[in-house]
Amino acid sequence: MSASSYGIIVEGDYDSVVYDAIIRKLTSPEIHIKPIVCRGRTNLMKEFPALLRALEHEVAGNPVDMAIVIRDADGKSPDDIEAQMRAKIQGRGYPFHLDVRFHAVRNAMDAWLLADANAINAASQRRRGKRVTRSLDSPEDLLTPKEGFRKLLTDHNVTCTSELCREIAQDTDLQLLSDKCPRFRVFTELVDC
């Protein structure tokens, strides 16, 4: 069963636009998505149990179908991070038809943006940046993908903005992303139920 609405709780603005674009590509462009931005992983881990309550009245006074709490693993085990998040709401009840789901991206979300050179190139060319000619085979293996992504953009005369990240996510070939990033496959299953 698929969701007709999602609430996503994420670390930052760039995360919000990227996950919004990816969920829309995986489901439907018209899907209702309510993002809640926490301004960093510390705030996310501290505040998400209470923030989930804000999603209980999001869709015409009713809860979203599925709430997803997403954060970067930052070099830690994604499974351990997800277990910590689940433990924080153990014993609490939420009215989401498809429950609360948790996802920790291996290292950082920026690895997913590095997967498709064509998507990066299209966004770069729209900004008159240099042509990007190749992508990484295993971007999730980068310990600091955020720095790698920003360096790639700087080297190609492009400024990183949330709109640029949204465009790259919208243009990314999801099959290529899935082939290069095993944690993206986990995310796909989580969103698709």
Secondary structure (DSSP) of 75-102:
TS-HHHHHHHHHHHTTT-----TT-EEE
- pLDDT per residue as tens digits for the range 161-177: 999 999 999 999 999 99
Q: Are residues 69 and 97 in the same domain?
A: yes
Range of the structural domain that residue 127 is part of: 110-171
Q: Tell me the torsion sign for CA atoms 171, 175, 181, 185.
A: positive
Q: Are residues 186 and 166 in the same domain?
A: no
User: DSSP letter at 114?
Assistant: T
Q: Does the structure show a pLDDT above 90 at 192?
A: no
Q: Band the pLDDT of 1: cuts 50, 70, 90.
A: low
Q: Does the structure show a pLDDT above 80 at 16?
A: yes
- pLDDT per residue as tens digits for the range 32-73: 999 999 999 999 999 999 999 999 999 999 999 999 999 999
Residues 181 and 115: beta-carbon distance below 8 Å: yes
pLDDT at 110 (0 to 100): 97
Return the minimum-mean-pLDDT range out of 41-50, 98-107, 124-133.
124-133
pLDDT at 131 (0 to 100): 84
Per the structure, how many domains does the chain have?
Answer: 2
Q: Does the structure show a pLDDT above 90 at 130?
A: no
Extended beta strands in the chain, E state: 5-10, 32-37, 66-72, 100-105
In terms of residues, how long is the chain? Answer: 193
**DSSP bridge pairs for 143:** none
* CATH number of the domain that residue 82 is part of: 3.40.50
Domain membership of residue 100 (yes or no) is yes
Residues 185 and 37: beta-carbon distance below 8 Å: no
Domain membership of residue 176 (yes or no) is no
Residues 36 and 10: beta-carbon distance below 8 Å: yes
Residues 108 and 143: beta-carbon distance below 8 Å: no
Strand order in the sheet with 100-105: 32-37, 5-10, 66-72, 100-105
